[in-house]
Structure 1
Amino acid sequence: MSDPLKFLVVDALAGVQTFARQLLQGYGFSTASILCCANTDEALAQGLLFKPDFLITDWFPKADLTGPALFQRLKQDCCPKLRLALMSFEVTPTHEAQARELGSHFLLKKPFTAEELKTTMGRALEGLAKDNPSLHQRLSSTMRTAQPRGDMPRVAVPVLPIEPIIKQGDRVRYQGAIHEAQYVVHRHGETVVQLKGQAGFVPVSKLQPA
């Protein structure tokens, strides 16, 4: 059976990308139908060629190209029937109103657990399946073989760490002193920070906003 949908997942955290890919593969979608990117500029360049059906993206509020703006660009340039789902550390009434205006299937507040993403994504796919016979057949087939429950497919669920939000230039507290975050890097499934004037990187989980 060919994949009825192609997914573009955009998030700076490798852990979110990995789990989203595992989750979609748990529904039976192939690796070739899932593209993951770490930022919106990369997602736009790759997405114009990939032509996704479903964009799952962080809001990226500080980026020149935000998540909602990425959706509008892809929809305008290559994917007129593109669907949207959003994730954001900040969810205000303004965010919710904009998400509704764009027709987003969900706006999931960060930090979230793997189970919360799993449940939210499952509902979104079930909603799409009502108007997509091929997707309905895919989900029905997957859920018949799911264990131990029949309501969700079984996938490996990694732990998504609850990390503080640290950006370049932020003041942070580390080992009792105040420092400035010079570089924020996402690598090997974790976020690390280089403090100004210090060598090496510190896991973001060991820092606190000052």
Structure 2
Amino acid sequence: MNILIVDDSKAMRGIVMRAVKAAGLAEATYLEAGTGVEALASIRGAEPDLVLTDWNMPEMSGFELIKAVRAEGRQVKIGLVTSESDPTLRAQAMEAGAAFVISKPFTPDAVRAALQPVIS
């Protein structure tokens, strides 16, 4: 399984990666992107199986990334890892094609619970 982690903070990409590995995906291949624009290029080229993206990033937000990926007809599973807690924004993300939303701060158990239905 190829997993793309997208966040403008390198430290946060590492934290998300460790949590995903702890959730049972230690053997996956991991790719990283620092912006939504980089992520979109990576999705077009590497075609990952799963994308975990931050919501608030420069150039292109995680929400805009989801909309762009879906507009291209790509069916890659995408989840948001975000500090956004507004239920309306979360509902919009799901309507746009997010498979899950994980709230920051998160625990490995929360990541595991969000990923289980997606990777089963």
Q: How would you bin the TM-score normalised by the shorter chain?
A: 0.7 to 0.9
Choose which of 65, 73, 82 in structure 2 pairs with 1:88.
82
Q: Deviations over 1:26-60 (max 9, x none)?
A: 43323xx2111111122122221111221111112
Choose which of 29, 41, 54 in structure 1 pairs with 2:27.
29
| CA RMSD across the alignment | 2.3
Over 3 Å counting, the alpha-carbon distance change for 1:24 and 1:93 in structure 2 is closer
Q: For structure 1, list consecutive stretches of 5 or more residues without a partner in the other structure.
A: 131-210
Q: 1-side partners of 2:74 and 2:117: how far apart?
A: 19
Q: Report deviation, 1:75.
A: 3.5
Over 3 Å counting, the alpha-carbon distance change for 1:60 and 1:98 in structure 2 is same
Q: How does 1:181-192 map to 2 (within 5 A)?
A: none
Partner-residue secondary structure (3-state), 1:125:
helix
Q: Report deviation, 1:67.
A: 0.8
Partner of 1:66: 61
Q: Deviations over 1:9-36 (max 9, x none)?
A: 1112222211222334443323xx2111
Choose which of 34, 39, 64 in structure 1 pairs with 2:35.
39
| Count of paired positions | 118
Partner of 1:126: 116
Q: 2-side partners of 1:48 and 1:124: how far apart?
A: 24
Q: Report deviation, 1:103.
A: 4.2
Contact 1:13–1:38 (CA<8 Å) still a contact in 2? yes
Bigger proportion of residues as helix:
2
Contact 2:102–2:111 (CA<8 Å) still a contact in 1? no
Q: For structure 2, list consecutive stretches of 5 or more residues without a partner in the other structure.
A: none
What TM-score, normalized by structure 2, do the two folds share? 0.78
Contact 1:53–1:81 (CA<8 Å) still a contact in 2? no
Choose which of 12, 15, 39 in structure 1 pairs with 2:8.
12
Partner of 1:203: none
| Identical amino acids, percent of aligned pairs | 24
Tell me which structure has the larger Cα radius of gyration: 1
What TM-score, normalized by structure 1, do the two folds share? 0.48
Q: 2-side partners of 1:107 and 1:128: how far apart?
A: 12
Partner-residue secondary structure (3-state), 2:98:
coil
Choose which of 96, 102, 106 in structure 2 pairs with 1:102.
96
